[in-house]
Amino acid sequence: MIAKPIITKRRLDYLAYAVFIAGILLAPYFFDEFWLNRFAKYLVYGMLGIAIALSWGYAGILNLGQGLFFGIGAYMLAMSLKLASYTSLQQGSDTPVPDFMLWNAEPGALTDLCCINKGSFLWIPFQAQWFGVAMGIVLPVVVAAIVGTIIFRKRVSGVFVSIITLALVLLVRLVVIDAQPVTNGFNGLTDLGWFTVAGFEFDPYMVETYYLVAISLSVLLVGVRLLTETRAGLILQAIRDSDSRARYLGFDVPVYQIFFFSVSAAIAGFAGMLYVIVAEFASPTFMDLTFSITMVVWAAVGGRASLLGACIGAILINTIEATVSETEAFVEAWKAIIGLIFVLVVVFLPRGLAGFASDVADWALVRLGLRSREDVEAAADGVQPAE
């Protein structure tokens, strides 16, 4: 009978998750309110890293339109918070009306959501905050399910999926900008009210708001990790490696692809809502091409095959970006520095920081005699050694 080693790769993996979660939960003891607010935004970006890792690293679907789902989630909650703001309640109407709608009102129109302009009625349900929260999850999932059904049922794959999602996010961005009377166009939605739950208002600079984001990220990270270890998650990875083999074995490949594509969209939509709570605005820049591609860069740097790695990559890149861009010596060259970091990681660490950490852990276990070199090589070839 072979005794199980005390320290295994899986246990080290769980330890990394525990250390990360403990770190973000202890952050309020080391940062002031300003930095907590900023770090909360980075944690939201970490959620986007998880969404990219799930669709790209686990499903093999390179989605260049993730900003679409992030933007949808952000706008859904922002619409409710806009109607809850002081300015929307001071427009001479019995019901809240966004201030920008008055600037774009039709001549002689009543100051009411029903008819101040042709599309203002769409805002009526958003007077209830719960509706904005629900739509921030439901609408990204519905859009992703429809798009996924069209793409995956037609067996579209590879770069063509990236092109379609890229075109889709650009299309929706143009629609949002052109719908100036309804969305406020380029200006986005600003001057929002605070997110409220059971009478408690989440001030963006309060510790409670930071914990709302940190705990959400922790639960999401663990939940998605558990999801990838289910039977569906293992089948998804098999599809990623060879969809033709999965079809031969009798699996309905599009169903799994659509499901996880929609889960990824739900994560992005949820992240968009949290970003609005922390940053107090929603903007069509969320659906810019550069933002969606930047998410892919975060995942590539952290390690697209690792949920935790992609999450840390997003947080790390944004922290470095903020620090370098605010340093006087690098104020003109910070974008080049970030680009150089990405190039160096891709060239020398093709599996990202998570892959590098995994290699270091393997080396340490072998050196300590807790794992044989043959087991490490077998795991690299896709064979799981007995523990």
Residue 201: in which H helix or E strand, if any? Answer: strand 200-202
pLDDT at residue 42, rounded to an integer? 96
List of the chain residues with pLDDT < 70: 1-9, 91-93, 108, 328-332, 334, 368-387
pLDDT for res 220: 96
Largest CA distance in the chain: 86
Q: And the tokens for 65?
A: 């339109």
**Cα separation of 209 and 128, whole Å?**
21
* pLDDT for res 379: 52
Task: Tell me how crowded residue 194 is: count the other CB atoms within 10 A of its CB.
Answer: 16
Task: Tell me which residue of 268, 371, 370 sits closest to 310, measured CA to CA.
Answer: 268
Half-sphere exposure of 296 (CA within 13 A, CB side): 18
Contacts of 229 (CB under 8 A, 6+ apart): none
**Which residues, 6 or more positions from 360, have their beta carbon under 8 angstroms from its beta carbon?**
none
CB neighbour class for 378 (10 Å; exposed up to 12, middle 13-18, buried from 19): middle
Q: How big is the chain, counted in residues? A: 387
- Is the sign of the CA dihedral 204, 27, 48, 233 positive or negative? negative
- What is the rounded CA–CA span in Å between residue 352 and residue 371? 23
Q: Helix axis angle, 352-367 relative to 289-302, nearest 10°? A: 10
* pLDDT score for 365: 72
Whole-number Å distance between alpha carbons of 254 and 243: 10
CA–CA distance, 129 with 79 (Å, rounded to integer): 9
pLDDT at 320: 85
In the chain, domain spans: 9-380
Task: Give the separation between CA 22 and CA 143, rounded to whole angstroms.
Answer: 35
48: nearest Cα among 356, 292, 354, 278: 292
According to DSSP, residue 4 is labeled: P
Whole-number pLDDT of residue 36 = 92
The number of CA neighbours under 13 Å toward the Cβ of 288 is 10
